[in-house]
A = this chain, B = another copy of it.
Amino acid sequence: MIARAATQLGCELVVLDRNANVPAAGAVGRVLVGDWDDPQTLVRLAREVDVVTLENEFVDATALGAVESAGHRVFPTAASIALAQDKLIQKQALASAGLPVAEFRPVTSREQLVAAARELGFPVVLKTRRNGYDGKGNFTIRQPEQIDEGWLALGGGRHGLLIEAFVPFVRELAVIVTRGCGGETAVYPVVESIQQNHICQAVIAPAAVAEEILGRAREIALGAVAAVDGIGSFGVEMFLTRKGDIMINELAPRVHNSGHYTIEGCECSQFENHVRAVLGWPLGQTRLLAHAVAMVNLLGKNRGPGNPQGLSAALAVPGAHVHLYGKATSDVGRKLGHVTALGGTPADALETAKRAADAIYFGENFR
Contact = CB atoms under 8 A, between A and B. Distances in A.
Contact of A10 (B10, B312, B324): B324
A216 to B, nearest CB: 26
A326 B4 contact: no
Integer count of this chain's copies in the complex: 2
A7 B326 contact: yes
Interface residues of A, number: 34
A69 interface: no
Interface in A1-53: 4, 7-10, 12-13, 25-29
Interface of A: 4, 7-10, 12-13, 25-29, 267, 276, 280-282, 284-285, 289, 307-308, 311-312, 315-316, 318-319, 322-326, 337
A315 B267 contact: no
Contacts of A323: 8-9
B26 A312 contact: no
Contact of A7 (B27, B284, B315): B27
- CB-CB nearest 10 A-B residue pairs: A10-B324, A282-B316, A7-B26, A282-B315, A281-B315, A26-B29, A10-B326, A281-B312, A285-B318, A8-B323
Contact of A322 (B9, B28, B267, B324): B9
Contacts of A27: 4, 7, 27-28
A324 B26 contact: no
Contacts of A13: 26
